[in-house]
Amino acid sequence: MGKKVILSGIQATGDLTLGNYVGALKNFVKMQEEFDCYYMIANLHALTVRRDPKELKNNTLKILASYIAAGIDPDKSTVFLQSQVHEHAELGWVLDCYTYMGELSRMTQFKDKSAKHADNINAGLFTYPSLMAGDILLYQANLVPTGEDQKQHVELTRDIAERFNKLYGDTFKIPEPYIPKVGARIMGLQDPTSKMSKSSTIPNDTILLVDTPEDIMKKVKKAVTDSEGIVKYDEKNKPGISNLMEIYGIITNKKMDEIEKEFQGSGYGTFKTAVAEAIINELEPFHKKYNELMDNPKYLEEIYDEGAKKASQVASKTLKDVYEKIGIIR
Ligand code: ATP
Ligand code: LTN
């Protein structure tokens, strides 16, 4: 029996947040020891929102450098750019033809992004999940590690794959979402009722992996809390404190009741300093490695070129099978 296959990706839409790190990236690193992992930078998906071309290129390299700085080893995992493996765009189109408008219009991400970018509700934003289904199915992935917000897309991928397999016989492995039990949905520091997101425009709402220790301390100190002054986990009534507790818990490996005990009787100021220090310590090795990598674009180029070669070998086999089954001459 070979190893199980993992595929995941992050959109090239900006500097990664602490949410991306604990919800996705940390798991990517853990999983590479046990599984055959494919980690992609979703630069084609990033086009669904208008972008400056130079910035998109630079963001693509930033995500790649973040993958490696966080601990993904390009000798163990296949790290590649979605745009360099043309099978993604091809299978994405095919799967568009096996995905229903009704299914796509139920996607929360589509609804959120349409509301945020009301002047550019393009067809790509709508069909985004079929391209993502193609990403996953090309590699016959068993598991897809992501944060909570992507679960719906992985479930749709399963439906599309089952539909296709029913029509043409076994073609795609049916993937499972792999969502961490804690940290799957880190909330904004200023608006703890919505997800921390790299494209947030609210000042001090997100912690970026590239933030300096001073920035991190300042942002955590400014995080919205409540007037009760008690460090207690209560997502509904104390969303700000609960979010900070979750962040602290993931980094220090402590459970919520342990954290409550640790900060019993101390005010929010002491607790916030401890949270900020934990984040700063966790990100220190990342920072150093990230800066070195961003100063070495040749090395990054070698990684993605090599990754694309390895990924293409697998992706081309799946696409060939799909084209043969549906009657497309190559
Ligand atoms: P954008 O703001 O451009 O939509 P994003 O920050 O929401 O980006 P994505 O590129 O959509 O990030 O997501 C990358 C990965 O990080 C996905 O697996 C996603 O589920 C996860 N993720 C994103 N935000 C969070 C969060 N706040 N908490 C936990 N996981 C998250
Ligand atoms: N849609 C994801 C990014 C993404 C992805 C994927 C994740 C694109 N293709 C395939 C997992 C598997 C997002 O917005 N985070």
Annotated catalytic residue: which of 113, 219, 238, 272?
A: 113
Residues 6 or more apart whose CB falls under 8 angstroms from that of 200 comprise 188, 206
Phi/psi-derived region of residue 229, left when phi > 0, alpha when psi is between -120 and 50, beta in every other case: left
CA angle 100, 85, 41 (to 5 degrees): 80
The DSSP-derived string for 55-74 is HHHHHHHHHHHHHHHHT--T
What pLDDT was estimated at residue 223? 97
Atom of ligand 2 nearest to the CA of 129: 1
150 lines ligand 2 (CB under 6 A): yes
User: What percent of the chain is predicted at pLDDT more than 90?
Assistant: 95
Task: Give residue 23 CA to ligand 1 midpoint distance, Å.
Answer: 7
Q: How far apart are CA 210 and CA 279, in angstroms?
A: 12
Question: Could you identify the atom of ligand 1 that is nearest to the CA of residue 17?
Answer: 6
CB atoms near residue 285 (< 10 Å): 12
For residue 214, how far is its CA from the centre of ligand 1 (angstroms)?
24
DSSP-based three-state secondary structure for 219: helix
Contacts of 267 (CB under 8 A, 6+ apart): 229
How many whole angstroms separate alpha carbon 323 and alpha carbon 291? 43
Check if the beta carbon of residue 22 is closer than 8 Å to that of residue 286.
no
Interacting residues of 170 by C-beta distance below 8 A, sequence separation 6+: none
For residue 121, with 0-12 CB atoms within 10 Å meaning exposed, 13-18 middle and 19 or more buried, which class applies? middle
Place of tokens 């966080």: 70
pLDDT of 77 reads: 98
Residue (of 39, 35, 38, 55) closest to 47 by Cα position: 55
- Name every residue whose Cβ is closer than 8 Å to that of residue 143 and which is 6 or more positions away in sequence: 4, 5, 6, 31, 35, 175, 176, 177, 178
Known active-site residue 30: no
Domains of the chain (ranges; CATH) run: 5-179+297-326 (3.40.50.620), 213-291 (1.10.240.10)
Does the C-beta of 185 come closer than 6 Å to ligand 1? yes
Residue 82, ligand 2, Cβ within 6 A: no
Please report, in tens digits, the pLDDT of each residue of the chain (330 residues total): 689 999 999 999 989 999 999 989 999 999 999 999 999 999 999 999 999 999 999 999 999 999 999 999 999 999 999 999 999 999 999 999 999 999 999 999 999 999 988 999 999 999 999 999 999 999 999 999 999 999 999 999 999 999 999 999 999 999 999 998 888 899 999 999 999 998 888 999 999 999 999 999 999 999 999 999 999 999 999 999 999 999 999 999 999 999 999 999 999 999 999 999 999 999 999 999 999 999 999 999 999 999 999 999 999 999 999 999 999 999
What is the structure's pLDDT at 61?
97
Amino acid at 168: Y
- Please calculate the CA angle 74-51-294 and round it to the nearest 5 degrees: 35
Q: How far is the CA of 53 from the centre of ligand 2 (A)?
A: 20
Q: What does the pLDDT look like over 193-221, one tens digit per residue?
A: 999 998 888 999 999 999 999 999 999 99
113 has catalytic annotation: yes
Q: Which of 26, 62, 198, 238 is catalytic?
A: 198
**DSSP for 23-46?**
IIIHHHHHHTTTSEEEEEEETTGG
Sign of CA dihedral 78, 20, 185, 149: negative
195 is catalytic: yes
6 close to ligand 2 (CB < 6 Angstrom): no
Structural tokens at position 227 = 């007037």
Summarised one tens digit per residue, pLDDT across range 176-191 is 999 988 888 999 999 9
Tell how far the Cα of 222 is from the centroid of ligand 1, in angstroms: 22
| Closest C-alpha to ligand 2, atom 14 | 11
- Side chain identity at 4, as an amino acid letter? K
What's the pLDDT score for residue 87?
98
pLDDT in tens, 134-185: 999 999 999 999 999 999 999 999 999 999 999 999 999 999 999 988 888 9
131-153 in b/e form (b: 16+ CB < 10 A) is bbbbbbbbbbbbbbbbbebbbbb
CA distances from 240 to 225, 237, 292 (A): 5, 9, 34
User: Measured from the CB, is residue 11 less than 6 Å from ligand 2?
Assistant: yes
Find out whether the beta carbon of 37 lies less than 6 Å from any atom of ligand 2.
no
Ligand nearest to the CA of 144: 2
pLDDT at 86: 98
